[in-house]
Structure formats: C-alpha cells, structure tokens
C-alpha cells in the first residue's frame, strides 16, 4: 500500500522530486539535535531565500563540500580568498551576501555554543525542548511565519546572525523539527513528532 504524504510539493514543477520526497519523508519536521546539522540547516535555509527548496536540495552535496562539511569552526575562519573561491563555485548559490551571512552565522553560532554549551540547548530552549505540532490538514493552514519564528528571528539578529528573518526562521524550525507541519493524514508524522 502506498504511503500518504502531505500533498504539497517542495519542488517548482507541481510534483516533488525524488530528493524532495526523501527530504519530506526522512528529515522535514523531524527533531534534529546534532550541532553540525543545526548549523547546516541554518545555512541552507538562508541560501534558499528567493529560490526553490528543490534547487537547494539538488545542490546540497555541493554546499556540504564547498563549506567544509558545514563545520562552523572552519567556516568561521573563511576570509576573502575563500569567499572568492566560493563565488566561482558553480555547484552552489553564488550570492556574496548569502556566503558572507554563512560565515557571520558560523561566528555567531560558535558564540551561542560557548554561552549555552550547545546551539541545540539554545534553539530548543525556545520551546522547552518540545516540538510545536500544528496538526495541519491543508496547505492553507500553514503559515509563512508565526509568533515563535518572529521571536527567534529577533533574538538571532540581536546575536549577529544574518538572513534569519521570520519566514526563513519558520522554515528552519520545520527543517530541524521544532515545528511539525506534517499534515494529520501524512504517514511520515513520526510518533516522536506527535
């Protein structure tokens, strides 16, 4: 029997790509606590501004390679020479502001880790470690942003993060499982998510 999914597409052509389906089924709205992946998703969500998520998923491995496995320690030390190389890398989004934001965010990420012992503790602390489940039944019920994403966005910006407006942050919260927007009928709602 075929599994039921949320019936919206992460793609741009009306139907989801294999990568988008795999992302939906295995990663989207699933609680993530690994520091490297929390940083990776922050970069990927920032890169996604103005383009489709499908494009980001198609380039994800290129991003991981180009940004040294999304190691925030390494990325925080990038200078002009590395920025120049990234600007020439056709496998990624070559937007200087987004690349500079990834570097600034690595530095801010490390400061948060130092203050809170982990970025995980900081970001999940906004919901006391619990997933916010919206129990959606239709795409029209899914907001682009909410009060939580606005609060977190303001705090991230205060701490020096860039490309973290409320809409990007809402998508980030879905991506790391703080928000569960899998629809009620979706077979990929995990027990862990509600």
The active-site residue, picked from 28, 39, 53, 78, is 53
How far apart are alpha carbons 119 and 41 in whole angstroms? 12
- What does each C-alpha distance from 29 to 24, 26, 132, 163 come to in angstroms? 8, 9, 10, 21
**Annotation says 23 is catalytic:** yes
Catalytic one of 23, 28, 39, 78: 23
Rounded Cα distance between 148 and 124, Å, is 12
Does 183 participate in catalysis according to the annotation? no
For residues 8 and 29, give the distance between their C-alpha atoms in angstroms, rounded to a whole number: 14
Helices (H), the chain: 18-26, 35-48, 53-66, 72-76, 80-88, 96-116, 119-124, 147-158, 166-175
Instruction: Exactly one of 28, 32, 45, 78 is catalytic; name it.
Output: 45
Catalytic (active-site) positions: 23, 45, 53
């Amino acid at each position: 029997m075929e599994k039921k999914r949320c019936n919206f597409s992460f793609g741009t052509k009306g139907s989801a790509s294999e990568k988008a389906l795999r992302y939906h089924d295995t990663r989207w709205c699933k609680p993530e606590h690994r520091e490297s992946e929390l940083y990776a998703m922050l970069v990927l969500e920032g890169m996604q501004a103005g383009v489709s998520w499908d494009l980001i998923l198609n380039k994800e491995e290129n991003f991981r390679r180009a940004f040294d496995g999304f190691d925030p320690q390494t990325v925080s030390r990038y200078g002009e020479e590395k920025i120049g190389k990234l600007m020439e890398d056709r496998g990624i989004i070559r937007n200087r502001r987004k690349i500079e934001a990834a570097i600034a965010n690595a530095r801010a990420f490390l400061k948060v880790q130092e203050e809170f012992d982990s970025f995980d503790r900081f970001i999940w602390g906004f919901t006391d470690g619990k997933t916010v489940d919206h129990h959606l039944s239709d795409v029209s019920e899914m907001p682009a942003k909410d009060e939580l994403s606005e609060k977190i966005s303001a705090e991230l910006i205060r701490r020096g993060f860039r490309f973290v407006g409320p809409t990007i942050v809402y998508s980030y919260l879905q991506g790391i499982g703080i928000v569960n927007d899998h629809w009620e009928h979706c077979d990929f709602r995990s027990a862990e998510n509600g």
